Structure 1
Amino acid sequence: MNALEVGNIVNLSVARKTDLGYVLMNAQREEVFLHKTETEEDLVENSKVKVFLYHDHEGRLAATTTMPFIDMNSIAWLEVAGVQTRLGVFLNIGIKKDILLSKDDLPDDRSIWPQVGDKLYCGLRTDKKGRLFADRASNEETETIAKPAPETLRNQYIVGHVYRFNEQGAMLFTDDHYIAFLHRDEADRALRLGQRLQIRVTFVREDGRLNVSLKAPKEIAYEEDSQLILSYLEKNDGFMPFNDKSNPNEIKREFGLSKAAFKRAMGKLMKEKKVEQSTEGSKLKA
């Protein structure tokens, strides 16, 4: 039998039963406690039981018959169960106690830390004191499980999690095991590590990786922006003090659009003869 080390799955013998649970023992006569709330079985002395070893909330070595999603020799996508900026984030590994991913293993910028419900690709490790921690998979470990994407994915929508950032944007790992790159210019919101996103494939590279976007295709974006302007005009008696010469900051504040997007939408509306401009602003055409 293996030594009683935190993070391992081992088969142990039931040495004796107590009011609170069971004392388990290995071949070296090392003991660990299995609380009755950590098993659904009614164990008898000298029977064998398979358990996972962890530290309880008081830092004591403990056992559970609930098998975790990972052990010391595996990696899995783990959901964030809690965030403490002083410590890091806590991950659900499938047992009653969540495991800490230290802030030292997270970005210095806390605005891009994962939130509850996000997922990170992690394994387990122990520190010098023998305490159990989650351990983020390296980029190489993540990319090892990836597969090349087919050309037919272009313009399709897929789903994935952000697993790292670089100077140009974010890398995602999709549900179908594809690697995708989201350039910062193709993001329509602030991103965070572990965030789950629905993304549109814009290009399939020769190496099978994907370029993706969070933005709608241009024709859809133009239509949405033009409808936004029309609704604004209708709510304001058919007139607005804005035209394609207006201050970009004022346009952004009022419509949430860049000046370029505003001009494209206005151009579409004028081409369709729905809006006309003047030096005073713009109005609906009768």
Structure 2
Amino acid sequence: MIHLGEYNTLEILRESEQGLYLADEEGNEVLLPNRYVPESFKIWDKMDVFVYLDNEERLVAVTDKPYIKKGDFALLRCNAVTEHGAFLDWGMLKELFCPFREQAFKMKKGGWYFVYCFLDEKSNRLVASSKTNQFLDNKALKVSLFEEVDLIVSHPSEIGMNVIINKKHLGLIFNDDIFQDLSVGDRLKGYIKKIRPDNKIDVVLGQIGYRSIEPNADAILVELRDNSGYLNLTDKSDPETIKQVLKMSKKSFKKAVGSLYKKKLIEIKEDGIYLV
């Protein structure tokens, strides 16, 4: 079966004036237009292609890499708004349509919007939605405490940054746990810090508890080596200063420093810490 809005591995079936016809194992065919035909190929060669509907609503295969595919999230630019909805740049010749009913806020030309791409069952077309929370479910969680997870930064709030966990759940990184610049659409690794009774999930970007000591200790050693073996930081330093220099909380800093001191890798003095 050829999957719309996804990458497909298909065989070259035959050549025509329009391009190459590709087929899946069941014999379903799709055209790869001439502009995407490789310089050299052989019949029965396999190709990885993205399949979507062209401007004439015909199934077509391309070698372009879209910024988003079906079932995924991305930050996209709005190229135009018509009486029917907005059209987003997703790196393809035909723009991605976002109907008004799927817009959390009315989109404007030139604006950037965080959206989800899905297959509309009524029209059988790929469409975008900026109402991303409807595609997330925290009722049946498939993550556990301290687990490493994939994150996509969704949108900011007054208390932190909302993130999408493994493309399935909604989570939150509290402001106190953010030690680097985050932008909507960023993809990064994180850890499940807490799962609340109502299934709300707290997330952090670094390891948790004793698990964080070694990574944080390594970060301090790197910073010491980069600064001629000295850091002007102590347990009396301002938390914001520690956050700015080391991208970690004061609590994590003190634990990591304690670990390094026990291993006799550093000296602690009144004016800071020194590499042994």
The two structures have a TM-score, normalised by structure 2, of 0.51
Q: Any idea what the Cα deviations from partners look like across 1:213-254, whole Å, max 9, x if unmatched?
A: 212123243333333444555677765665445577776665
What's the secondary structure of 2:94's corresponding residue?
A: coil
Distance, in Å, in 1 between the alignment partners of 2:162 and 2:244 is 31
| Aligned residue in 1 for 2:267 | 276
| Aligned residue in 2 for 1:225 | 216
Q: Superposition pairs for residues 189-208 of structure 1, below 5 Å?
A: 189-208=180-199
Residue identity matched to 1:141 = Q
Residue identity matched to 2:141 = A
| Aligned residue in 2 for 1:136 | 129
Q: Superposition pairs for residues 1-286 of structure 1, below 5 Å?
A: 54=55, 62-66=56-60, 76-77=70-71, 83=77, 89-91=88-90, 96-99=93-96, 104-105=106-107, 120-122=115-117, 135-139=128-132, 141-143=134-136, 147-149=139-141, 153-175=144-166, 177-231=168-222, 243-245=234-236, 255=246, 261-284=252-275
Change (3 A) 1:104 1:255: same
Residue identity matched to 1:181 = L
What's the secondary structure of 1:153's corresponding residue?
A: coil
Distance, in Å, in 1 between the alignment partners of 2:231 and 2:157 is 41
Contact in 2 for aligned 1:160/1:175 (Cα 8 Å):
yes
Runs of at least 5 residues in structure 1 that lack an aligned partner in the other structure: 1-18, 21-35, 41-50, 55-61, 69-74, 115-119, 126-131
Change (3 A) 1:134 1:191: farther
What's the secondary structure of 2:90's corresponding residue?
A: strand
- The CA deviation at 1:191 is 2.9
Contact in 1 for aligned 2:179/2:243 (Cα 8 Å):
no
Aligned sequence identity (%): 20
Q: How many correspondences in the alignment?
A: 213
Contact in 2 for aligned 1:79/1:91 (Cα 8 Å):
no
Distance, in Å, in 2 between the alignment partners of 1:235 and 1:201 is 31
Contact in 2 for aligned 1:105/1:135 (Cα 8 Å):
no
Residue identity matched to 1:227 = D
- The CA deviation at 1:155 is 1.4
User: Which deviates further from its counterpart, 208-217 or 79-88?
Assistant: 79-88
Change (3 A) 1:279 1:236: same
Contact in 2 for aligned 1:242/1:282 (Cα 8 Å):
yes
CA RMSD of aligned residues (A): 5.1
Whose radius of gyration is greater, 1 or 2?
A: 1
Contact in 1 for aligned 2:74/2:116 (Cα 8 Å):
no
Residue identity matched to 1:66 = V
The two structures have a TM-score, normalised by structure 1, of 0.50
Change (3 A) 1:167 1:89: farther
Distance, in Å, in 2 between the alignment partners of 1:164 and 1:234 is 36
What's the secondary structure of 2:259's corresponding residue?
A: helix
Contact in 2 for aligned 1:241/1:280 (Cα 8 Å):
yes
Residue identity matched to 2:159 = Q
- The CA deviation at 1:162 is 3.6
Distance, in Å, in 2 between the alignment partners of 1:153 and 1:281 is 38
Distance, in Å, in 1 between the alignment partners of 2:244 and 2:129 is 40
Change (3 A) 1:236 1:137: closer
What's the secondary structure of 1:197's corresponding residue?
A: strand
Runs of at least 5 residues in structure 2 that lack an aligned partner in the other structure: 1-16, 19-32, 38-51, 63-68, 82-86
- The CA deviation at 1:168 is 2.3
- The CA deviation at 1:263 is 3.8
